[in-house]
Amino acid sequence: MNALEISAAVKRFGPVTALAGVDLAVPPGTLTAVLGPSGCGKTTLLRCLAGFERLDTGDIRLNGAPVDGPRTFTSPHRRRVAIVPQEGALFPHLSVAGNIAYGLPRDHHRTTRVQDLLTLMGLDGMENRFPHHLSGGQQQRVAVARALAPRPALILLDEAFSALDAGLRADLRDDVRAALRADGATALLVTHDQAEALSTADQIAVMRAGSILQAAPPETVYQAPATPWIASFVGGAMLLPGHWTTPTTVTTALGTLPATGIHTTAPVTVMIRPEQITLSDPTPPPIPAKVIDRTYLGHSALIRLELPDATPISARVPPNHLIDLGSQVGLTVTGPCRAWPASLRDN
Ligand SMILES: Nc1ncnc2c1ncn2[C@@H]1O[C@H](COP(=O)(O)OP(=O)(O)OP(=O)(O)O)[C@@H](O)[C@H]1O
């Protein structure tokens, strides 16, 4: 049985349809990232799951039990859904231990559970500190420990790492992931950060304009995105016009390439990732291109190129790869690309 099941969920605010028929299943003990651009309905979905809003139509089930539907509505405090907001969620007058213990019954398990969570979240020795004596990252650790404490049916992480700087954010993300796994918790992470979703989640639900377009493991969303829009939104991609030339190859401005996807005799849109492009000497030219720009990214560099017909191309290369702007290079494409009917270009 799934820990969470959302079926055909619709939520309108006057003329605005914030949720346009959302379907999503989350298996127990897993983390799903809800990833989408601003205004796509992520917060509304979260608020409906927490019980702060009621669906217009559709239903939500937690561990098989309906909590929102045509004949049911369970109030927020009876849902066993915990929320970790972006920041500022702790009770300032309670210690770390007091914050974590807040939702626990006063029995003999309480101290042990608090101690286990302190250890799980890397907070050993900080139990007597107060929130204003903690860094932002430590405060978020306490907030996650407090959410986990009563073993809720579902934990909602609402952009929970967004307020932290990059290094701290990656560490906290990894530790929270490990703690959720160790505790067997089921969680939904709302984020607009595709790198965060790819690195943290068991499943990514890609949301756009009130609908979930694809819900799949990160590898599938990245390698086999359901639509060209998902390809561009998750990970960055070049989308080139082309056509199928054999059942397994498409022809584009970058030549004839192995491809998977929806077969059609009509024109197609072909996805190629920047890391599939290798640069070499222009002689003999595999595919000639001119170097237009270079962006240094630390772990890699992104080279912007132009084919003779002015088609823009991006290539991801090692960060120390030296290259002169304006020079001519040769391009080779490795690995299969993905193709969709060109009519889906904007989907
Ligand atoms: N209470 C409300 N009243 C009217 N419209 C609302 C309300 N809440 C949300 N909306 C609208 O519903 C749509 C979805 O909003 P929502 O906040 O869920 O998106 P989001 O993906 O969380 O965006 P962001 O990432 O910017 O927070 C938007 O068009 C928003 O303006």
Residue 188: which CATH number? Answer: 3.40.50.300
Residues 111, 198, single domain; the answer is: yes
ipTM over 0.85: yes
Question: Is residue 60, in this structure, part of any structural domain at all?
Answer: yes
Question: Is residue 232, in this structure, part of any structural domain at all?
Answer: no
Is 207 in contact with 40 (CB distance < 8 Å)?
yes
Pocket of ligand 1 (CB under 6 A): 13, 16, 18, 36, 38-44, 192
Question: Is residue 89, in this structure, part of any structural domain at all?
Answer: yes
Q: Domain count for the chain, please give it.
A: 2
pLDDT of 293 reads 94
Burial of 45 (0-12, 13-18, 19+ CB in 10 A): buried
pLDDT of 262 reads 83
Mean pLDDT, consecutive 10-residue stretches, the chain (347 aa), reads 97 97 97 95 96 97 96 94 88 96 86 94 94 92 95 94 81 90 95 90 97 97 94 90 94 93 91 91 79 91 92 90 88 91 80
* CB atoms near residue 334 (< 10 Å): 10
**pTM listed for this prediction:** 0.90
Domain boundary, last residue among 174, 203, 227? 227
Residues 28, 165, single domain; the answer is: yes
Q: Token digits for 270?
A: 């072909």
* Cα distance between the two ends of the chain: 32
pLDDT of 282 reads 67
Buried b (16+ CB within 10 A) or exposed e, 94-103: bbbbbbbbee
Residue minimizing CA distance to atom 23 of ligand 1: 39
Task: Specify the ligand 1 atom closest to the Cα of 53.
Answer: 1
pLDDT of 319 reads 86
Residue minimizing CA distance to atom 20 of ligand 1: 39
19 CA distance to ligand 1 centroid (A)?
Answer: 9
Domain boundary, last residue among 193, 227, 261? 227
Enumerate the β-bridge partners of residue 302: 295, 316
The residue range of the domain holding 276 is 237-344
Pocket test for ligand 1, best of 10, 42, 54, 206 (most atoms within 8 A of CB): 42
53 CA distance to ligand 1 centroid (A)?
Answer: 12
Residues 275, 206, single domain; the answer is: no
Question: Is residue 177, in this structure, part of any structural domain at all?
Answer: yes
Enumerate the β-bridge partners of residue 294: 303
Residues 37, 185, single domain; the answer is: yes
Residues 195, 265, single domain; the answer is: no
Looking up tokens 């290094």 gives: 167
